[in-house]
Amino acid sequence: MGKLIKLQLRNVFHNKLFYVCTGIMILLSPVVTFLFNNSLNINTTLVLPEIVTILSVDVVGIVFIALFTCYDYNEGTAKNIIGRGYTRTQFFISKFLVALIGMFAMILIVSLVVFILFINNGLGYSTKVMYSLVNGLFEVIAYTAFFVTISILLEKNGSAIIAGLFIPNIIPLVLSVIDSKLKLNIGNYWLGSQSTIFSMKPTLGNLGWSILNYVIYTFIFLILGVLLLKKKEIK
C-alpha cells in the first residue's frame, strides 16, 4: 500500500496539473477574499462572491480531483496496478488519500500566499476563525471522498468534471422540492447542510454537528466508492 501511495504522489507532484491548479487558485483567491470582506459594506447580495468562489476553489478543486483520479484510466495503467497484486480497495483508498494530500497542499500554499500578500491591508485570513477553519478542513475531506467516488465511477475526465460540478448543486434542489411537496426536512441531512447552519450561528455545538455530518458522509462515499469499484471492469 505504501508503494502505491508513493506512486500516486509521484503522479500528483511530478505533473503540471497540480501546479497549474495551484496557480489558478492563487490568482483568484485574493479576488474572492476581497469580495467577501467587502460584501457586507455594499447593498448587494452575495451572488458575485459566490460565483467567484466557485471559480477559484470549487471548480479548480473538482478539476484537479477528477483529472488525478482518472489519470490511471486514461494512461491505461489502472489495470496494471491491480495486476501487480494491489486490491481494488487499496487502489481506491490510495486515490482518495493522495487526492486529499494534493487538496490540502494547494489550500495551504494558497492560504500562505494570500496571507503574506494581503494581511497588511485587511485582505488576509482572520486569526479568529478557528471554528470555520476546522469545519473547512472536514468539508474538504468529505467533498474529496465524494468527487473521487464520482470520478472512479465515470473514469473519463470530461464526464467526471461535469458530474462533479452539477451533482452537488442538483441534489439539494431535488431534496428541497421533495421537502416542500411532502412537508419533510430531508434536505437538512444532506452533505454540508449542517455547515450552513453553523455558518449562520458559529457555535461549538453547531460545529460539532457540522463535523459529524461531514464524517458520516465521508465514510458513506468511501464505502460506496469501494463497492462500486469492486463491481467495475478495469480496462
pLDDT digits (tens, 9 = 90+) for 158-175: 999 999 988 888 888 888
- What is the distance of C-alpha 5 from the center of its chain? 19
Q: Nearest CA to 46 among 56, 57, 37, 59?
A: 37
pTM here is 0.85
Evaluate whether 30 touches 117 at the Cβ level (below 8 Å): yes
- Which residue type does 106 have? M
Out of 142-156, 178-192, 193-207, give the one with best mean pLDDT. Answer: 142-156
Query: What is the CA angle 167-226-96, rounded to 5?
Result: 70
pLDDT at 118: 58
Evaluate whether 100 touches 9 at the Cβ level (below 8 Å): no
Q: Per this entry, what is the length of the chain?
A: 235
Q: How far apart are CA 39 and CA 169, in angstroms?
A: 23
Rg of the chain over CA atoms, in angstroms? 19
pLDDT at 129: 58
pLDDT digits (tens, 9 = 90+) for 80-128: 888 888 889 999 999 999 999 999 998 888 777 766 765 555 444 444 4
Higher pLDDT, 80 or 42: 80
pLDDT digits (tens, 9 = 90+) for 123-152: 444 444 577 778 888 989 999 999 999 999
Evaluate whether 192 touches 213 at the Cβ level (below 8 Å): yes
